[in-house]
Amino acid sequence: MDRTDLKILAILQEDCSLPVAEVASRVNLSQTPCWRRIQRLEAQGVIQRRVAILDPESVGFDLSVFIEIEAADHSPEWLDRFARTVAAMPEVMEVYRMAGDVDYLLRVAVGSMGEYDDFYRRLIAEVPLKNVTSRFAMERVKSTTAYPIQRQLQA
């Protein structure tokens, strides 16, 4: 990946709805080479997908919950069951396997404490867990999906 690819990625992750002509203009390319680069980046999996990012409160997901999970088991069978379970739960926005005293960290979006309680009950009914600690966000101070590519371009 060269600097032009990085510039294209920086532009697209801020606004992927821009016409190719606009992206091409910003990176000093003609449309066809720019479009080919975008297609190549998609084919390589660098650009995974293009989506609309919604305001969670506007669509009824006012409560963000960060859930720390300690596993009761560390077998491949348990991990497979856990991964399938959380993948099937639409409230789960992100799942990370962690280093340290917490095994997994989940970010969950729900509309209310009652919805969270329903989620929690479904989760613990599906997978044996040693410990579950939930932390409720009071305010979203910063939220972005854009990686700091500009920093790489300045280096």
State the sign of the Cα–Cα–Cα–Cα dihedral 19, 15, 106, 97.
Answer: positive
**Is residue 149 scored above 80 in pLDDT?**
yes
- The predicted structure's pLDDT at residue 152: 80
Model confidence pLDDT, tens digit, residues 103-125: 999 999 999 999 999 999 999 99
- The predicted structure's pLDDT at residue 51: 93
| Cβ-contact 132, 120 below 8 angstroms | yes
- The predicted structure's pLDDT at residue 151: 81
Model confidence pLDDT, tens digit, residues 1-52: 999 999 999 999 999 999 999 999 999 999 999 999 999 999 999 999 999 9
pTM of the model: 0.87
Cα–Cα distance between 8 and 27 in angstroms, integer? 7
Residue with tokens 């966000």: 137
- The predicted structure's pLDDT at residue 91: 97
Sheet-wide strand order for 92-97: 92-97, 104-110, 63-71, 129-136
| Cβ-contact 64, 119 below 8 angstroms | no
- The predicted structure's pLDDT at residue 25: 97
Instruction: Transcribe 104-151 into DSSP letters.
Output: EEEEEEESSHHHHHHHHHHHHHHS-EEEEEEEE-S----------HHH
Model confidence pLDDT, tens digit, residues 40-90: 999 999 999 999 999 999 999 999 999 999 998 999 999 999 999 999 999
Cα–Cα distance between 76 and 32 in angstroms, integer? 47
- C-alpha distances in angstroms, 97 versus 61, 67, 122? 24, 12, 20
What is the rounded average pLDDT for all residues in the chain? 96
- The predicted structure's pLDDT at residue 37: 98
